[in-house]
């Protein structure tokens, strides 16, 4: 008899591998994955924060699936998302607007292409026995991999159904979605 935990985790890996293969075959649009870095001062001189590139991912709702050699086979829970545009001047409209402006400036310093979408402040999800009963976006319950929008969301759906729906939208978007 096999261990249900291993079966659930193996099923999750298999479903995620199939999803990434389908996305790669369709040449679905991917996005950048980055890490927000605040450099230490050098000789007392403060340097501006930057977002360092970690590779490319497909955003599949609440999950990010690795799409480049650096990220292949890995999964993250979606964190913050920043579009690479000119940061603009500080206008002190609101704290949240200034935070978004600072992230745009950090992404621009990270040498991402203008207009690219950068995912950062993400949470890695290990594809191992820790998925069983985990309080992450992806978890295994009753030997079945499941996904929820966030670690605090009360409802969840089977990973197979979730990926079929989300990957289907990326591979074959409805008319008008990309126009």
- In 3D space, the residue among 56, 153, 167, 69 whose CA is nearest the CA of residue 112 turns out to be 56
User: Does residue 178 sit within a domain?
Assistant: no
Q: Tell me the pTM.
A: 0.86
Report whether 171 contacts 97 (CB < 8 A): no
> What are the tens digits of pLDDT across the range 25-68?
999 999 999 999 988 888 888 888 999 999 999 999 999 999 99
Report yes or no on 166 lying in a domain: yes
Residue 156 inside a domain? The answer is: yes
CA distance 134 to 42: 41
Residue 63 is part of which domain span? 4-171
Count of domains observed in the chain: 1
| pLDDT of the residue at 70 | 95
- Tell me the pLDDT tens digit for each residue of 113-141: 999 999 999 999 999 999 998 989 999 99
Q: Could you read off the pLDDT of 81-107 as tens digits, one per residue?
A: 999 887 766 766 788 888 888 889 899
User: What is the C-alpha to C-alpha distance for residues 70 and 55, in angstroms, rounded to an integer?
Assistant: 6
Domain membership flag for residue 134: yes
Q: Residue 15: what pLDDT?
A: 98
Instruction: With respect to residue 120, please indicate whether it lies within any of the assigned structural domains.
Output: yes
| pLDDT per residue as tens digits for the range 147-170 | 998 767 778 999 999 999 999 999
| 112 in Cβ contact with 51 (< 8 Å) | yes
Whether 94 is in a domain gets the answer yes
Q: How confident is the model at residue 178 (pLDDT cuts 50, 70, 90)?
A: low
Is 176 within the bounds of a domain?
no
- Helix spans in 26-151 (H): 95-109
β pairing state of 31-37 and 75-77: unpaired
At 1, the pLDDT band (50, 70, 90 cuts) reads very low
């Amino acid at each position: 008899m096999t261990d249900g935990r291993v079966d659930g985790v193996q099923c999750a890996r298999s479903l995620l591998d199939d999803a990434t293969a389908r996305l790669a075959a369709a040449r679905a649009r991917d996005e950048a994955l980055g890490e927000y870095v605040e450099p230490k001062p050098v000789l007392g001189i403060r340097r501006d924060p930057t977002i360092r590139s970690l590779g490319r991912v497909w955003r599949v709702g609440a999950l990010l699936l690795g799409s480049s050699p650096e990220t292949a086979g890995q999964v993250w829970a979606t964190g913050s998302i920043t579009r690479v545009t000119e940061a603009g001047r500080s206008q002190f409209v609101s704290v949240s607007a200034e935070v978004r402006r600072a992230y745009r400036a950090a992404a621009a310093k990270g040498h991402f292409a203008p207009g690219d979408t950068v995912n950062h402040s993400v949470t890695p999800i290990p594809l191992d026995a820790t998925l069983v009963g985990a309080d992450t976006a992806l978890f295994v319950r009753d030997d079945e991999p499941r996904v929820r929008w966030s670690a605090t969301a009360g409802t969840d759906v089977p990973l197979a159904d979730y990926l079929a729906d989300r990957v289907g939208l990326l591979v074959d978007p409805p008319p008008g979605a990309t126009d």
